[in-house]
Chain A
Amino acid sequence: MNRAVTTERITPNSGFAKAILGESGVDVNLCYQCGKCAAGCPVAYVMDYPPAQLIHAARLGLEDLVLSSKTIWLCAACETCTTRCPQDVDIAKVMDAAKILGVARGYRPALGEVRAFHKAALANVRRFGRMWEAGMIVSLKLRTRRFTKDLDLGKRMLRKGKLRLFPTLRGARRAARVFSRVEKAEEEREST
């Protein structure tokens, strides 16, 4: 297991914990380090910091450690931790907040491909209103340059009629409107 080693000055109730609170509404200071979240997390085995450590690091204000960790990008959003936390810390939401803050503060995502997937998927929904999987997969491949991954599987799924060759555009306008309004609202919020 990794240990969070730092030479930074550690302060409880850090500014970073407040930033997480602002982004997600979750107060990491409530955590009393029982470790339950880490015990039940199905992907803790590949994380650099298990969820309990990550929450503690956020609490101590170790911004660099949290925002450049793999953990926040490896979280599968299964919400086992959130469900089981005796202190009602919504850990899964902290993982999301950290991804969002990390991107906003210019940290390079530790798992670029996961970030590329999120971007490809949302660009697709913005454009078509409903996810067009085949198109999304192609654009993901263009972003990650892994052209041969899952090629066989894709072919088999096409044959079974599980991937549509063409997108629908029903709802496209409504989706585009929601996206651009959200963008505007977020810009306004940042500038205030």
Chain B
Amino acid sequence: MRYAYYPGCSLHSTGSEFDLSLRAVSPRLGLELEEVEGWICCGSTPAHSVSGLLALALPVANLSLVERMRREEVVVPCASCFRRLKAGHHETTESPEVMERVNAVVEPPYQGTVEIRHPLEILSAPEMLRRISTLATKDLSHLRVACYYGCLLTRPPEVMRFDRHEYPMSMDTVLRAAGITTLEWNSKTMCCGAAFSLTETEIVYKLTADILEEARAAGANASAVACPLCHANLDTRQSEIEERLERTFGLPAFYFTQLLGLAMGIPAGRLGIGKHLVDAGGLLPPEPEPLMEAASVVVCRECDLPTRGGGNRE
């Protein structure tokens, strides 16, 4: 299945391992992602705090690019982009008046035809779950994962139409299909403070500490996320929180796509796991022994099989 793909700003920078790991697992699952040419920022929280029109125009400008590609569905992994693109589509298609106002500033005009999909929505379809179970051959039974969905993936439900909004299960279902244990716990959709990371950092410390505390109490040894803002707070800020509370969490945060990749036997390096600040070393499966002399081995990016040197690496 071929989809348009909107990575958004974070997946090209602070959350690049989400992009990397999604691209690594997609071909194996039969998903082809075609990046939207010339996409721009969705505006995120700053836009909707400053101008109602801008907050719709930025995401809709991207949806109109998807229409130009003649794609009907666009995959959006970042929870914040997902929320904003959904808002853009929802508000314009609900009201002809809003559509007109937005299309007066967007080019080419949006026709309202694009379906915005989160990877979790695609992967939690029954057919995909079966495929995941067949492909996931690595033993990750030592993991106890708290799936953390955050705010924006499911809220508000009339707009997002995605999973159960108070107690979502899609990420749990996907990871369980890959043979990973996920836990029942209470903070799946609690807010981590997200956009306050750079300004009201104290709020982030408190909210994120509560989430880490809950995950630990449920017996987790790792968390899984689907949002680069959640990841930034759970992973990047964790050591600061530990210092303040004089308490160790040592709870590595993975993107769910990274865990899927590990379960499928994709090496940690190709999933960007080394980019995290909280060390996940102890939880990773052992890397396979090299099959041939290291110097002459080139791993094919498509199929991951080692080929003799000189192969096409792109």
A interface list, Cβ under 8 A from B: 23-24, 42-43, 46, 74, 76-80, 82-83, 90, 96-97, 99-100, 103, 111, 113-114, 116-119, 121-122, 125, 129-133, 137, 140, 149-150, 153, 156-157, 160-164, 168, 170-171, 174-175, 177-179, 181-182, 185-186
Does B157 belong to the interface (CB within 8 Å)? yes
Shortest A91–chain B CB gap in Å is: 10
| Chain A hits for B41, CB < 8 A | 125, 129-131, 175
Contact yes or no, A140 B198, CB < 8 A: yes
Q: With A111-B200, A117-B198 known to touch, is A171 a contact of B40 (CB < 8 Å)? A: yes
| Chain B hits for A80, CB < 8 A | 151, 155, 189, 191
| Chain A hits for B46, CB < 8 A | 117-119, 121-122, 125
Interface hits, B1-21 → A, CB 8 Å:
9-10, 12-14, 16
Interface hits, B95-116 → A, CB 8 Å:
101, 104-107
Does B47 belong to the interface (CB within 8 Å)? yes
Shortest B209–chain A CB gap in Å is: 12
Pick the contact of B40 from A122, A156, A175 — CB < 8 Å? A175
B interface list, Cβ under 8 A from A: 9-10, 12-14, 16, 38-41, 43-55, 57-58, 61, 101, 104-107, 151-152, 155-157, 165, 189-191, 193-196, 198-201, 203, 207, 236-237, 240, 274-277
Cα distance A181–B103 in the bound complex, in angstroms: 11
Pick the contact of A129 from B40, B155, B189 — CB < 8 Å? B40
Shortest B241–chain A CB gap in Å is: 12
Contact yes or no, A153 B106, CB < 8 A: no
| Chain A hits for B104, CB < 8 A | 181, 185
Pick the contact of B191 from A42, A111, A130, A132 — CB < 8 Å? A42
Contact yes or no, A76 B38, CB < 8 A: no
Q: With A96-B49, A153-B240 known to touch, is A133 a contact of B14 (CB < 8 Å)? A: yes
Pick the contact of A161 from B16, B151, B194 — CB < 8 Å? B16
Pick the contact of B14 from A140, A163, A182 — CB < 8 Å? A163
Contact yes or no, A118 B50, CB < 8 A: yes
Q: With A125-B41, A162-B16 known to touch, is A76 a contact of B236 (CB < 8 Å)? A: no
| Chain B hits for A185, CB < 8 A | 53, 101, 104-105
| Chain A hits for B50, CB < 8 A | 99-100, 103, 118-119, 122
Counting from the closest, the 9 A-B pairs by CB-CB distance are A78-B191, A131-B9, A181-B105, A78-B151, A118-B46, A121-B46, A171-B40, A79-B155, A175-B40
**Chain A residue, CB-CB nearest to B43:** A125
Contact yes or no, A171 B58, CB < 8 A: no
| Chain A hits for B44, CB < 8 A | 121
Shortest B199–chain A CB gap in Å is: 5
Known A117-B199, A125-B41, A181-B104; 20 more pairs at CB < 8 Å: A23-B52, A43-B193, A76-B194, A79-B156, A80-B151, A96-B55, A99-B49, A100-B52, A111-B200, A113-B200, A121-B44, A122-B43, A125-B46, A130-B12, A160-B276, A162-B13, A168-B12, A178-B58, A178-B105, A179-B54
